[in-house]
Amino acid sequence: MDHNLLLADRTRQINASAIREILKAASRPGTISLAGGVPAPESFPIEIIRKLSNKILDTYGAGALQYDLTEGFPPLCNALSGYLANKGIAAEPDDILITSGSQGALDCIGKILISAGDKVAVEAPTYLGAIQAFNPYEPEYIHLDSDDNGLIPSSLEKAISSHRVKFVYIVPNFQNPTGRTISLERRREIASIITRHDVLLVEDDPYGDLRYQGIPIPAIKTMAAHHVIYITSLSKVFAPGLRIGFCLAPQNIRKWLVIAKQGVDLHTSTFNQALAAEYISGGFLKETLPEIIRIYQPRCKKMIDTLDHYFPDGFHWSRPDGGMFIWVEGPTGFDMQNVYRESLENRVAFVPGKYFYTTRGKGMETMRLNFTMATEEEIDSSIQTISEIIKNRMQIRAA
Amino acid sequence: MDHNLLLADRTRQINASAIREILKAASRPGTISLAGGVPAPESFPIEIIRKLSNKILDTYGAGALQYDLTEGFPPLCNALSGYLANKGIAAEPDDILITSGSQGALDCIGKILISAGDKVAVEAPTYLGAIQAFNPYEPEYIHLDSDDNGLIPSSLEKAISSHRVKFVYIVPNFQNPTGRTISLERRREIASIITRHDVLLVEDDPYGDLRYQGIPIPAIKTMAAHHVIYITSLSKVFAPGLRIGFCLAPQNIRKWLVIAKQGVDLHTSTFNQALAAEYISGGFLKETLPEIIRIYQPRCKKMIDTLDHYFPDGFHWSRPDGGMFIWVEGPTGFDMQNVYRESLENRVAFVPGKYFYTTRGKGMETMRLNFTMATEEEIDSSIQTISEIIKNRMQIRAA
């Protein structure tokens, strides 16, 4: 039988991620990867997880292995309520919905909100995982502009004045792919705009805890609670392989997210939720986070320094205060795909920035660099390699 | 803001499961629950999981906590290839897709195959979780008839001759909710029908390993590999809280399922997949399964015996060789909802059978009884309670 004839209309919208192929190439032995968005394995609290695995079997017994509520394992919801309070976000345990990674929240949001043709406003460039979650529900995207201070509020106001936008999706802290953070002043403006226009905002904040300098900026959720779905994940501060994310949505929306999630996976792993509950309530997250930051902070600084040192004039890069990524923009007309190919031959991988745009032909001159998976030495040599390839190509271009 | 105005058209199709409320009522302390579809907690291999948690951290280290492939953790795919071979199902590790429970497979199948208005043929009654997975993609259901030997092949042939059916969904072994198993002869007929009509079949087999008597019957997948997506789960033979399911689909379909799953949850928990891999490859599943069967077999027998003993004429029940459920059908016009209400007042819970039909008004006289969560004594007393309520109502009816 020709199985392709059976595919739903929406399946045409679901594209294989080109980044999958890039990450495959990047994982070849001997290649320095600045491509992934993956935590350093040395940041994982293996021995704590060993201890907690034993503890949760003692504490919860069969309950850690049994079916559980779709909404989330109650001890984890309790722990997360305290975790959010530390960020200034007021949340009762019953306000929280645990999801299978933040991806699980994005999928359910797309599922309950997007009808085919609905308009979703996103930063350009934006997080690819969100696009992959939303695409099967067939939205159209409206693009929002940003600069070194993150999303530009006037661009948001213009977009929601001229289009009927179902919701706005942003990553406020150390954005993927740009590393940019929306300033406090702009957050206040954004909160005011969405409240005034009565528009829903999805605030996706997986990187907020990974701050290497400066002071934390309050979430937009704290400024417009009723208009914001706040999403975050323990993947970057605990262990991504446990697939624990969660969201905080207005009750009228959470109710539907729960029902949607029940159809998707019944509930997130009880065992892993119990691990996460103990990790937070036992104070291990608080204890371990500074150690993770101690690994990443010098790598971030090293990458900015080497870019400053090696990269030619005409190129501009973000100077993030945290997160996992630096964004490089070359001169208009420069094609980063060619640099990518040549870098890979020289065993250095990164992601060409064009993949983070939903409009074809945009971002050809950009790249995303990850600094969490490479050592400082590797960062130095790989940035030098990329910079030489770029300089050669600039000369060819000038000639 | 009025969040309800934001809901997608499809969200109207996503109904809150009435069974959620029933299960909540059933979980009240002091109530004997024949309502759930939940494994007995005493069947969980807690000490093995403790040992294996330690072992996988030794063996895989950070790899057990890291992001992993959407397709599945390779050691688990390897182990499952052998597990399936023991069932006579030929599957290379690369043919397998690990999902977050079998629910995760059902959701992705719905997502890539169902366009609004597409016809999906299901047994009546059928597994509610499948309906919840498919509904958001807005199918129409065609109902297939079954009897004590399971799905009636002529009903299938008639349905796919008179409708353009996107796929057929069935549970061949110890079906939820009826406990019925499709006979070998009928499986051969079904394989022949779907091959002849070139129709795709989704064969959902979470209960096949829980056989208490008789010999296993080969999966339809072994008879029409190219026309069948075979799904199963480790929830009933390992631990449901780990959320490990998997499916075996023709490569052209698996390819799209992988892409869809990437947007839903990136991948299933690496840690839990590593646990499952060691559980199977270490021989623990083979060793533990007979112990699980030793718990359930006498409960199944006890429930059939007490039904035979207490229930009045005019009622008929399935006599399953395995699984978790017995299906009771009363005389036409009898309303089991009233029995449910009165039983609950007497601290006995079950699920009225009407909830397993997609057509309103069907199955009013039916009920699903679960026998895995109650002891033999509880089964005896609760069936006696229900039977007295039924007998009283029959007298009122006769009067």
Q: Return the pLDDT at B396.
A: 79
Spatial CA neighbour of A70 closest among A276, A261, A272: A261
Best to test chain B binding among A2, A4, A5, A6 (most B CBs inside 10 Å): A6
Neighbours of A389 (CB within 10 A): 19
The pLDDT mean for chain B works out to 95
Cα–Cα distance for residue pair B279/B273, rounded to 1 Å: 10
For residue B139, what is the nearest residue in chain A, using CA coordinates? A8
Reduced to 3 states, what is the DSSP secondary structure of residue B151?
Answer: strand
Q: Provide the pLDDT for residue B253.
A: 96
Per residue in B352-371, pLDDT (tens digit) is 999 999 888 999 999 999 99
User: Is the pLDDT assigned to residue B238 strictly greater than 80?
Assistant: yes
Among B58, B266, B295, the residue to mutate for chain A (most A Cβ within 10 A)? B266
A4 neighbourhood in chain B, CB within 8 Å:
252
pLDDT of residue A20: 74
Phi, psi of A89 (to 5 degrees): -100, 115
Are residues B14 and A114, on separate chains, in Cβ contact within 8 Å? Answer: no
pLDDT of residue B17: 67
Each residue's pLDDT tens digit, B257-292: 999 999 999 999 999 999 999 999 999 999 999 999
Flag whether pLDDT at A165 surpasses 70. yes
pLDDT of amino acid B133: 96
- pLDDT at position A398 is 75
What are the tens digits of pLDDT across the range A331-343?
Answer: 999 999 999 999 9
Tell me how far apart the alpha carbons of residues B68 and B59 are, in angstroms, rounded to a whole number. 16
- Residue B342 CA to residue B292 CA, distance in Å, equals 32
High-pLDDT (> 90) share of chain A, %:
91
Which of the four pLDDT bands, split at 50, 70 and 90, describes residue A238? very high
The C-alpha of B39 sits at a distance from chain A's nearest C-alpha, in angstroms, of 8
Which residues are bridge partners to B202 per DSSP?
B169, B229
| Chain A neighbors of B198, CB-CB under 8 A | 1
Please tell me the class of the A7-44+288-398 domain: alpha beta
| Alpha carbon separation from A184 to A157, A187, B241 (Å, rounded) | 17, 5, 41
CA distance A26 to chain B (A): 14
Domain ranges of chain B: 3-44+290-398, 46-285
Residue A14 with chain B: CB contacts under 8 Å: 111-112, 256, 259-260, 263
A263/B135 CB distance under 8 A: yes
Residue B334 to residue B366: CA distance in whole angstroms: 8
Band the pLDDT of A306: cuts 50, 70, 90: very high
Contact predicate B277/B75, CB 8 Å: yes
Q: Which residue of B has its CA nearest to A59?
A: B46
Alpha-carbon distance of A217 to A205, in angstroms, equals: 12
User: Is the pLDDT at B136 greater than 80, yes or no?
Assistant: yes
Closest CA to B55 of A50, A3, A244: A50
Confidence check on the interface: ipTM exceeds 0.85, yes or no: yes
CA-to-CA dists, residue B221 to B102, B192, B218, B227, B255, angstroms? 16, 12, 8, 8, 18
Nearest residue of A to residue B267 by CA position?
A: A243
* CATH architecture observed for domain A46-285: 3-Layer(aba) Sandwich (3.40)
What pLDDT score does B194 carry?
Answer: 98
> What predicted TM-score, i.e. pTM, was given to this entire model?
0.96
Res B15 pLDDT > 90: no
Mutation target to probe the B interface, by most B beta carbons within 10 A, among A264, A268, A295, A373 is A264
Side-chain-facing half-sphere of A396: CA atoms under 13 Å: 10
Whole-number pLDDT of residue A1: 87
The reported pLDDT for the residue numbered A17 is 67
Assign domain B3-44+290-398 to its CATH superfamily: Aspartate Aminotransferase, domain 1 (3.90.1150.10)
Q: Mean pLDDT over residues A229-254, rounded? A: 96
Q: Report CA dihedral (A76, A78, A83, A87) to the nearest 10 degrees.
A: 130
Q: Please state the rounded mean pLDDT for residues B199-226.
A: 97
pLDDT digits (tens, 9 = 90+) for A338-396: 999 999 999 999 999 999 998 889 999 999 999 999 999 999 999 999 999 999 998 87
